A = this chain, B = another copy of it.
């Protein structure tokens, strides 16, 4: 760091002086503006190269309103972000797509909900072009705080009054759950239990709805609320076995929960699938394949969902820029709203991907 204070970054003035042009001309070239003669453009570019000048993005973004950076917010404490492979997979898809468009992935980590106001400040503060937000819980204030920041959600947002035109990428949680439970019924199972996910998330609510679509008169004792974690799955399975020792199948809201359930069933000496069949959700590969026995599950393409989220956001941003350019060319203002505020023109649509039942040994 002492090194850095003795080598100050070259200024725009230095670039202008070296190129022999005015500061205004140098600024126009650096910010990609028009109306500078080609020989002057050349001289400024050479000076930029020679001095290693890096434009101050804060100043430049006031002009261009683009940062070539997209924020990702996972509305969970950072400890869960690194413990649950679901997030790594989704980030992999996002990272590939953003990199292909030379846009920087900016992951905003938090210790928990209390930090979301700070995250919103960063998002609204002009450091990124938009945001990808996932694992949102129902009462999270974040969506309200980032109104005005182009956003694509991972999973349908669950705020009251529906998704209010928000753009999201999701899988068919309800349909996937229905398929899993119908399969268990087809195996002849009658006492089918459900371990839910965190019910303040729409994915968990939708999977519970899918379970109920098939098990219309389900014994309420066969449904236990849980939280999408391995430990939660263990606790829920113990509770289920104590309450309903005669259960013959379990549909768990995700693979981690199912892995916890399998562990407890083994502890209690219940054979899987002979005595109790188990189905998970997600098809998170190391978890499902290393489970004992390997886990039958509802597959969703998590990496592809991440990629689609990034693609929808970038497409929306491009549309904003085109609309602004068209408006400026025709001398009128942008069709609706300010060009840099939110998205204008035809909005991209949300996408709901299908799921597949993957049969392994547990059911």
Contacts and interface: CB of A to CB of B under 8 A. Distances in A.
B104 A5 contact: no
Contacts of A56: 125-126
A221 interface: no
Interface stretch (A19-27, A193-201, A336-344): A336-344
Interface residues of A, number: 70
Contacts of A4: 147-151, 337, 341-343
Interface in A56-95: 56-62, 67-69, 78-79, 82-83, 85, 88, 91-92, 95
B106 A122 contact: yes
Contacts of A85: 82
* Identical subunits present: 2
Contact of A1 (B102, B316, B338): B316
A124 interface: yes
A115 B99 contact: yes
A158 to B, nearest CB: 15
A344 B111 CA distance: 31
Interface stretch (A6-14, A32-40, A255-263): A6-14
A86 to B, nearest CB: 11
Contacts of A69: 122, 127
A114 B247 CA distance: 54
A122 B104 contact: yes
A129 to B, nearest CB: 12
A167 B1 contact: yes
Nearest to A344: B5
Contacts of A273: none
Contact of A111 (B99, B108, B109, B126): B99
A110 to B, nearest CB: 7
A354 interface: no
The listed residue with most B CB atoms (<10 A of its CB), out of A54, A96, A124, is: A54
A315 to B, nearest CB: 11
A95 B80 CA distance: 13
A267 interface: no
Interface string A157-189: 000000011110000000000000000000000
A51 to B, nearest CB: 12
A5 B342 contact: yes
B2 A57 contact: no
A3 interface: yes
Contacts of A167: 1
Interface of A: 1-9, 54-62, 67-69, 78-79, 82-83, 85, 88, 91-92, 95-96, 99, 102, 104-111, 115, 118-119, 121-122, 124-127, 147-152, 164-167, 316, 336-338, 341-344, 347-348
15 contacts: A1-B342, A1-B343, A1-B348, A3-B166, A4-B342, A5-B343, A6-B336, A6-B342, A9-B147, A54-B124, A57-B124, A68-B121, A82-B85, A82-B91, A104-B118
Given A56-B126, A58-B126, 4 more contacts: A1-B167, A83-B88, A105-B108, A105-B109
